[in-house]
Amino acid sequence: MASNNKTDVIILIGPPGAGKGTQLELLQEKLHLDYIGSGELLRERKKTEDFTGKKISQCIDKGNRVPTPVIFYLWMGKLEELSCKETVKGFIIDGSPRTLYEAEMLDLALGWYEWDQNVRAIFIKISAKESIQRLLKRRMCKDCGRIFPYLGEFRHIEKCDECGGELYARPDDTVEGVKKRLAWFKTDVMPAVRYFKKRGLLIEINGEQSVAGVSHDILEAIGQK
Ligand SMILES: [Zn+2]
């Protein structure tokens, strides 16, 4: 059994445009931890073209959120898979929790697998204004879906650095679309953030600085600097 109470669990949270994806990549490079991403799990699951697979595709195409029980069933599968490994140094969680009850469920799930001794929720903070500005300017690869934030060297990239694909602005990255996502973040996700704060697990990071600056602050906060 892989469970041990030294396992590092890092939960990444941030409003749209906070640069979570970029920070996730940097953390992975530096710490070599396992990864649980709701987006990735959904993309993987929809390849199975059964009832749930098709339903996930429909949901994503319409821009709807996949409901919690479905996300959690994917999540529990992934946690179970990790628990079978010889050792689990740690893992990074991205894309959930999106609500207060997802935070509570995650807490219980981590407790079940005995990975609840070293949990940190990293909240990358940026203002609504900054979020809107960044999202309106970010681009996505047509072929592989990689997101290019309007940050640092990514600003000048013309083709996808992974697959050479063409870059385009996401259709829902409009002022209206971004405002909707920000409102959702405030009503739904912020209660989860406050939950981790109450539990003493929250680390707030200033997201309105360079990519390297944010990365430095995160590593320092989790004692890896
Ligand atoms: Zn690409």
- Check which CATH number belongs to the domain holding 47 and give it: 3.40.50.300
Residue 150 resides in a domain: no
Phi, psi of 150, rounded to the nearest 5 degrees: -85, 70
User: Is the residue at 76 inside a domain?
Assistant: yes
pLDDT at site 149: 83
**Residue % of the chain over a pLDDT of 70:** 98
Domain assignment present for 166: no
Output the CA 168–ligand 1 centroid distance in Å: 11
What separation in Å is there between the alpha carbon of 103 and the centre of ligand 1?
A: 32
**pLDDT number for residue 115:** 94
Residue 54 is assigned to a structural domain of this protein: yes
119 found inside a domain: yes
Determine the distance separating the centroid of ligand 1 and the alpha carbon of 142, expressed in angstroms: 7
Residue 183 is assigned to a structural domain of this protein: no
**Mean pLDDT in residue range 189-207:** 97
CA of 203 to the centre of ligand 1 (A): 32
Average pLDDT, stretch 12-16?
A: 95
| Number of helices (H), then strands (E), in the chain | 9, 8
pTM: 0.87
Total structural domains in the chain? 1
The SS3 assignment for 97 reads: coil
Within a domain: residue 143? no
116 CA from centroid of ligand 1 (Å) = 36
- Containing 34, the helix (H) or strand (E) segment is strand 34-37
pLDDT at 177 over 90: no
The band of 70, judged by pLDDT with boundaries at 50, 70 and 90, is very high
Domain hosting 15: range is 8-127+201-215
Q: Does the pLDDT value for residue 1 go beyond 90?
A: no
In a domain, 189, yes or no: no
- The pair phi, psi for residue 200, each rounded to 5°, is 75, 20
Is-contact 13 94, C-beta < 8 A?
no
Query: Strands 8-13, 90-94: parallel, antiparallel or unpaired by DSSP?
Result: parallel
d(CA 165, ligand 1 centre) in Å = 5
Say whether pLDDT at 146 is over 90: no
